[in-house]
Amino acid sequence: MFLLISSQTKQLFKCRRKIIFIGVEFLELFNQFLRNLRNMPKTKIIRGLPFPGSPWFTIKNIEDTLDFVPSDGDIVIASYPKTGTTWLQYIVLQITSRGELFPTFNDCLYKYAPFLEMSGTSVMDNMEKPRICKHHCPYNMVQKNDKCKYLYIYRKPEDTAISYFNFMINLGHEPELNEFFEEFMTGDIAFGHYFDHVLSYFAHKDDGNMLLVSYEKLQLNKKEEILRIAKFLGEEYFASLSEDDELMEKVLERTTFDYMKKHLNLEHPHPKDHEGHTRKVDFFRKGVIGDGKKSLSSVQLERLKNLAMEKLKGTDLIKEWIEE
C-alpha cells in the first residue's frame, strides 16, 4: 500500500523542520546569554559610581537617569536599595490616586512609577500628572528642580545590609554573607556606600521640597507617617485622608506587608535556568525591624557601628541609629 503525500504536505514538513531548527538555534543562543550573564561583573562603574552589572540596567538608561531633569510638579522617590523603596512607592500611589491605583509590580516598574535606571526616562513623556518616578542614585549625581518634590526613605544599616544580601539570593545569585558584608562596608556594591548615599540626601533635609522618611518610623507609626507624606505631597491629599476614615483604612490595608507580599511579585529570568524560564522575585521578605542584629555576628555589628560613628558624626542619624 502506497501513501500519497501532496506537494503542500511536503512543503509543510520542510517548514516545520526549518522552524524547529530556528527554535533550537534560538534556545542555544539564549542559554549562552544566561551563561554569560552569570559570569558578568557584579557592577559597572559609571561616572565614578558602581551600578548593577546586569544587562537590565543599560549604560544608556543609567546615564539618562543621571541627566534627567524633573518637570515642575514631578514626585521623585529616591533611596538606597532595600530600604523600603517599593513600600514608599505604593504609599505614594495610593495617596495620589486616593486609594484607586494598585498596579502590578511590572506596571509600577515601567508605567506608573518607573524605576528610571531600568525603564529609561522616555517613559516619563506620556505619563499623566502628577508624574511619579524612582531611582537609587545619590543626590549629588542627579539633576534637580526646585519645583518638584523629593522623598527619600532610609533604614538602619544592619537591616539594609541583610535585606540587600537576601535580595541578591532571591534574584538567583549566591553571595556569601561575609564577602557581601565586606563589600557593603567598603561600598564596593551597586549604588555605592550606604552611608555616603544617605548623607547626600540628609544634607538637604531642610529643603522645602525634600521629605526624609524613616523606615523604622513608618513601621512603628504608619498612620501618622502616611499623613505626613500626604501633607508633603499636597494639602488636598492630606484633607482626603484625614477626613475620610474609609479611605484611610483602605490605604493602610493596601500598604501592609502581608497585602503587598500577596499581590506583588516580579517575573525575572533565573540565572541558572537553561530553559529560559522565569521565576517570581519576592520584594517582600520579612518587613521587620532588627533582622540585621539577628543575622550579623557581634564582630560585624561592632564594625558597622564604629563605621557609622565615624561617617555620621555630627548628624541626627547618630541619635536615630546609634544612641537609641
Q: How far apart are CA 171 and CA 52, in angstroms?
A: 13
pLDDT for res 170: 72
Residue 117's pLDDT band, with cuts at 50, 70 and 90, is very high
Displacement of CA 289 from its chain's centroid (Å):
19
Look at residue 296 and tell me whether its pLDDT is greater than 60.
yes
pLDDT for res 236: 97
SS3 percent helix, strand, coil of the chain, rounded to 5, is 55, 10, 35
- Report the candidate in 143, 28, 154 with the shortest Cα–Cα distance to residue 76: 143
Pair 229, 92: CB distance under 8 Å = yes
Residue 57's pLDDT band, with cuts at 50, 70 and 90, is very high
pLDDT for res 263: 79
Give this prediction's pTM: 0.82
Look at residue 6 and tell me whether its pLDDT is greater than 70.
no
Q: What integer best gives the mean pLDDT of the chain?
A: 85
pLDDT tens-digit series, residues 248-283: 999 999 999 899 988 776 544 444 444 444 445 454
Look at residue 10 and tell me whether its pLDDT is greater than 60.
no
Look at residue 3 and tell me whether its pLDDT is greater than 50.
no
- Report the candidate in 156, 187, 190, 163 with the shortest Cα–Cα distance to residue 177: 163
Residue 16's pLDDT band, with cuts at 50, 70 and 90, is very low
pLDDT for res 169: 82
Look at residue 90 and tell me whether its pLDDT is greater than 60.
yes
pLDDT for res 13: 44
- Report the candidate in 130, 144, 308 with the shortest Cα–Cα distance to residue 233: 130
Least confident of 105-119, 161-175, 180-194, 276-290: 276-290
pLDDT for res 35: 53
Pair 145, 70: CB distance under 8 Å = yes
Pair 40, 57: CB distance under 8 Å = no
pLDDT tens-digit series, residues 75-87: 999 999 999 999 9
Look at residue 137 and tell me whether its pLDDT is greater than 90.
yes
pLDDT for res 173: 66
**DSSP state at residue 206:** T
How confident is the model over 27-53, as a mean pLDDT?
Answer: 74
Q: How far apart are CA 255 and CA 186, in angstroms?
A: 33
Look at residue 229 and tell me whether its pLDDT is greater than 90.
yes
